[in-house]
Amino acid sequence: KQEVTQIPAALSVPEGENLVLNCSFTDSAIYNLQWFRQDPGKGLTSLLLIQSSQREQTSGRLNASLDKSSGRSTLYIAASQPGDSATYLCAVSGIGGSARQLTFGSGTQLTVLP
């Protein structure tokens, strides 16, 4: 059974700092890995999707990497801003198990201090 872990559970940084969020998964048989953002009391917004054959994806100040063989992904946020404060979740779409199921991590709650 696929398990997704995110460390740390919470992170607080001063504005302007570059930061890295970590995600690990136990089963490397995946179609893709996705990073989502969730604001308090809101739904999820897709940030980046990395296909299993890809190593990284970039969108603006965000860069996500994927090392499928080691079961790891990182989300790099450059020059953090208070508006980046949210919970960031990673999710994998597994080849085994229930079709179309996304398995999520519990998220990293990020606070960027002005």
* Sole window of 16-24, 40-48, 67-75, 78-86 interacting with other proteins (rule: CB under 8 A): 40-48
Among residue numbers 65 through 94, which ones bind other proteins (CB under 8 A)? 89, 93
Q: Tell me which stretch binds other proteins (CB under 8 A): 14-22, 43-51, 55-63, 78-86.
A: 43-51
Q: Is 58 in the site for other proteins (CB under 8 A)?
A: no
- Are the beta carbons of 113 and 12 closer than 8 angstroms? yes
Three-state helix/strand/coil letters over 1-50: CCCEEEECCEEEEECCCCEEEEEEECCCCEEEEEEEEECCCCCEEEEEEE
Residues engaged in binding other proteins (CB under 8 A): 4, 9, 31-32, 34, 36, 41-46, 49, 51-53, 89, 93, 98-107
